[in-house]
Every structure is written in C-alpha cells, then in structure tokens.
C-alpha cells in the first residue's frame, strides 16, 4: 500500500467530520485512494471509531472519498463490505448490485451469503424482510439463467415462507417481463 500522508489523513478526518466538503477536500489535495488505501481506511473505521461515529466515517469514506479504482477493484470493495457487519451501509451496497454491478455471476454467491448473514441492525422484524427483498431483487438483476436458478434454489431450500414468497414473486415477475425462459420451478 502506498502510504497516506499525514496531511491527507487530517483532511480525510475533516471530511468524515463534515468540517470540509468533498469539493473543499479535492481543492486541498490530489489524493485519490487506491484499492489498498481504501481498504485500509475502511477497515480502520471499525477499529478506531466509536459507536457514535463509526457509521459517519464509514459512509463518508465509502461513498465520498475520491478513489482511483478499476471496475474489478470497485466490485471487490462492494462485495467485501457487504459481508461486514459493523457498519450500516448494507442496503445502499445491495442496491448497487441491483443497478450497477449486475453483470457478474459471482455476485450471486455474495448476495446469497448476505441473506444468511444479516447484519444485526437489520434483523429487526420491520427491517429484515425489506432488506431481504432488496437482496432478492439484486439476485434477480444478475445474469440469467444463474439468477433464476439461485432464486429457485432459495425458494426451495428456505423454511421461511416470506423469503420463499419473495423469491417466487421475483421469478414470476421476470417471467411476465419475458426476460428469460423458466423451466422446472
């Protein structure tokens, strides 16, 4: 990892504490986090931040810090932090798998892991199924026929009727839209 200068660390801290805007940050430095630097900064929020500011720091670094990443590195960051349970950005990350990162079959495995490893804050009954619905939509947005196979498998293997119904609803919706042929479900 290329070292991050002390000045840039101070500016990142100011950005995270909303003392400066992203525009002001970019005026004061040319820093763009590479893959290793971004991982370092995100991981250190878990260790260095208090419960009061961990989500503010994570959110700012994940979404606002200027980065220099390849598409593959960006997807890997999203995959990694989707499965980390110490921040509160899961719903937004899952949304990106539905709208932006929906061309890679490997995403399905990560999304399936996420269903089985819900973050604690999303296990509250009111939030749980809303979040699971987002994951199921993200699975449905992945390349076919793998997405439909994953939804069918999920519907068959779960004991949770709401999850089963959500998966089956997504399959039926896709059938109505004529996006793929579905057999044996």
What pLDDT digit, counting tens, does each position of 34-89 carry?
A: 999 999 999 999 998 888 889 999 999 999 999 999 999 999 999 999 999 999 99
CA distance 21 to 17: 10
Residue % of the chain over a pLDDT of 90:
82
Residues 113 and 155 in one domain: yes
Report the pLDDT value the prediction gives residue 52, as an integer from 0 to 100: 84
Report the number of distinct structural domains present in the chain: 2
Quick one: average pLDDT of 6-33?
96
In this predicted structure, what is the pLDDT of residue 71? 94
Residue 75 falls inside a structural domain = no
Q: Are residues 98 and 63 in the same domain?
A: no
Task: Taking residues 115-129, report their average pLDDT.
Answer: 89
Please tell me whether residues 114 and 161 are part of one structural domain. Answer: yes
In a domain, residue 98? The reply is yes
Residue 179's pLDDT is 57
- Mean pLDDT value of segment 141-168: 93
pLDDT of residue 174: 80
Host domain of residue 16: 1-69
Determine the Cα–Cα distance for residues 77 and 49; give it in Å rounded to an integer: 20
Q: Are residues 52 and 118 in the same domain?
A: no
Average pLDDT over residues 118-140: 92
The answer to whether residue 20 scores a pLDDT higher than 50 is yes
Question: pLDDT value at position 62?
Answer: 97
Q: Is residue 65 part of a domain?
A: yes
Domain annotation covers residue 13: yes
User: What's the token pair of residue 69?
Assistant: 């990443």
**Tell me, what's the pLDDT at 1?**
58
**Per-residue buried b or exposed e for 43-58, using 16+ beta carbons within 10 Å of the residue's own CB:** eebeeebeeeebbebb
Alpha-helical regions (H) of 100-178: 106-116, 125-140, 146-157, 161-177
Query: Do residue 94 and residue 149 come from a single domain?
Result: yes
Top pLDDT among 92 and 177 is at 92
Q: Domain for residue 107, yes or no?
A: yes
Residues 28 and 107 in one domain: no
Question: How far is Cα 139 from Cα 22, in angstroms, rounded to an integer?
Answer: 32
Residue 185 falls inside a structural domain: no
> Has residue 183 been placed in a domain?
no
Q: Are residues 62 and 95 in the same domain?
A: no
Q: Which of 40, 69, 98 is the last residue before a domain boundary?
A: 69
Domain-located, residue 169: yes
- Burial (CB count <10 Å: 0-12, 13-18, 19+), residue 30: exposed
pLDDT for residue 125 is more than 90 = no
Residues of the chain with pLDDT > 70: what percent? 95
Q: What is the mean pLDDT of the chain?
A: 92
């Amino acid at each position: 990892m290329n070292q991050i200068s002390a000045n840039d660390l101070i500016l990142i801290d100011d950005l995270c504490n909303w003392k400066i805007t992203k525009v002001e940050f970019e005026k004061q430095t040319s820093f763009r986090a590479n893959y290793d630097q971004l991982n370092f900064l995100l991981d250190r929020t878990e260790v260095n931040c208090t419960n009061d500011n961990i989500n503010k720091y994570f959110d700012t670094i994940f979404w606002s810090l200027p980065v220099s990443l390849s598409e593959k590195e960006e997807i890997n960051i999203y995959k990694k932090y989707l499965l980390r349970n110490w921040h509160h950005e899961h719903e937004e990350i899952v949304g990106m798998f539905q709208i932006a990162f929906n061309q890679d079959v490997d995403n399905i495995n990560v999304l399936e892991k996420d269903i089985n490893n819900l973050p604690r804050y999303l296990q509250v009954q009111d939030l749980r199924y809303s979040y699971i619905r987002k994951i199921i939509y993200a699975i449905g947005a992945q390349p076919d026929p793998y997405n439909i196979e994953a939804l069918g498998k999920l519907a068959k293997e779960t004991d949770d009727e709401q999850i089963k119904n959500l998966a089956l609803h997504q399959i039926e919706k896709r059938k109505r839209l004529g996006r793929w042929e579905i057999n044996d479900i």
